[in-house]
Structure 1
Amino acid sequence: MGSKTEAVTASTDGQAVAGVGPDDGTRGKDERNGSPEAELSRDDAFEILSNRRRRFALHHLQHNGERAELGELSEHVAAWENDSGVQEISASERKRVYTSLQQFHLPKMDDKGVVEFDDREGVVELTAAAEQMDVYLEVVEGNDVPWSQYYLGLAAVNLGLLVAATAGTYPLRLVPDAGWGLFVATTFLVSALVHTYYSRTEMRLGDSESPPEVRE
């Protein structure tokens, strides 16, 4: 089962993507370069996260020290896109990613204030705005369902059981009211704990070697 933030979501490439920062997505002064206070709007965050190649780039930077050479970044992004190892990607696959990052994606993220991209040196570095973005991916594959639909289904099942018990359906009527209250509370508590675990450990950009959406 996938996981998602409880804030806002946007449908992209079959996944729900969300990015939320402190103070509703604002960032303060960047202490590294002394730039004035700037604001990363929610719309800008979603625009950046709407592209898988940019998500992969952010994941690599967040997981590997916040700074990388363009060549190194391109290799990892290309490997994830082609479901292979860095040593297995072809020169054309690497060049295609390198060119798109250099000419489009990194300049776009630089313009939004999420990274600092030095095209001359071929180096990209995260800014304070990216560090404050709390990013989760909800990956829904096969017969899996999103968490929102899971909770809706769980509520429907619990309601059906309570109605049947109230109507005196055997053997549900044998369970006391307090028992049904405990049952409903427990099912939602366990579900919420599992949801929180996956959100905080399995589905966050930058927390693992590979992005959540390419993990098996």
Structure 2
Amino acid sequence: MSTAASVPARPGETNERERNGESDTLTQETAFEILSCRRRRHVVHYLLQRGEPTSLHELSKQLAAWENEISPEAVTYEQRMRVYTALRQAHLPKMDDAAIVRFDANGGTIRLTDDATKLEVYLDIVPHDGLPWSSYYLGLCGVAVGVLTAALLELFPFNLLPGIAWGFVVVALFSASAVAHKRHDERHHLGQEGKPPI
């Protein structure tokens, strides 16, 4: 795979970008567009897992396995070709244009660019698994304020414990939430072992 590691950018691409005053810096709009498609997220996940360039054949086989929830060995020719065609004709050229991957269509090899590592920043913003953490913490703050206010006013049943005890309860809630948030982020990190998190 060492020869694939030096897959060049398409001929004239760098000069064309320089002439147009474009930079290779990943924009927020581009990141959202790339991450909005599950199959493209799976491409990034697989390439991060491997840590080296891969062939279109291997990439399409693994994505077909994930999409059909089967092992790569059980993927049929038709399942792989559906993914292969979509990757070759649409997704990989789009990701190459966005400088997320370098796709050598002639050689059939794909590698990540440095910009691909910047995509992780946007994953919390792209909705993919329900309630955003920002909304969760806002709700938790509301609950904390309500509990502490009720304890301060000595309303039943909050008067059964001293105010300081309710303060510890609030701290414990935030601590447990922070631990859960941390574990959630680790499980939903692109490039971790196993199937894609999103």
TM-score, structure 2 length as denominator?
A: 0.79
The 3-state SS of whatever aligns with 2:154 is: coil
| Superposed displacement of residue 53, structure 1 | 0.7
- Show CA shifts across 1:55-96 (max 9, x none): 111111000123110000000111111111112222111101
Please give the residue correspondences for 1:89-108 in structure 2 after superposition, counting only pairs within 5 Å. 89-108=75-94
- Show CA shifts across 1:176-206 (max 9, x none): 222222221221122112202221x211010
Higher-Rg structure is 2
Deviates more, 1:54-63 or 1:188-197: 188-197
Q: Which runs of 5+ in 2 are unaligned?
A: 1-5
Q: Does 1:205 align with 2:194?
A: no
Q: Does 1:45 align with 2:31?
A: yes
State the Cα RMSD in Å: 2.5
Aligned counterparts of 2:7 and 2:104: Cα–Cα separation in 1: 15
Aligned counterparts of 1:169 and 1:79: Cα–Cα separation in 2: 57
Q: Which amino acid aligns with 2:24?
A: A
Which structure has more strand as a fraction of its residues? Answer: 1
| Superposed displacement of residue 121, structure 1 | 0.4
Deviates more, 1:57-66 or 1:190-199: 190-199
Over the matched positions of the two proteins, sequence identity in percent amounts to: 41
Which structure has more helix as a fraction of its residues? Answer: 2
Counterpart position of 1:7? none
Aligned counterparts of 2:86 and 2:8: Cα–Cα separation in 1: 27
- Show CA shifts across 1:74-119 (max 9, x none): 0011111111111222211110100010011001110111111000
CA contact (8 A) 2:8 2:102 kept: no
Q: Which amino acid aligns with 1:164?
A: A
The 3-state SS of whatever aligns with 1:39 is: coil
| Superposed displacement of residue 168, structure 1 | 2.0
CA contact (8 A) 2:148 2:167 kept: no
| Superposed displacement of residue 209, structure 1 | 1.9
Counterpart position of 2:147? 161
Q: 1:80 aligns with which of 66, 78, 102?
A: 66
Q: Which runs of 5+ in 1 are unaligned?
A: 1-30
Counterpart position of 2:117? 131
Aligned counterparts of 1:72 and 1:58: Cα–Cα separation in 2: 14
Counterpart position of 1:196? 182
Counterpart position of 2:172? 186
The 3-state SS of whatever aligns with 2:117 is: helix
Deviates more, 1:87-96 or 1:146-155: 146-155
Deviates more, 1:32-41 or 1:145-154: 32-41
CA contact (8 A) 2:101 2:111 kept: yes
The 3-state SS of whatever aligns with 1:154 is: helix
Q: 1:58 aligns with which of 44, 51, 54?
A: 44
Counterpart position of 1:175? 161
| Superposed displacement of residue 149, structure 1 | 4.1
Q: Does 1:140 align with 2:126?
A: no
Aligned counterparts of 2:59 and 2:7: Cα–Cα separation in 1: 22
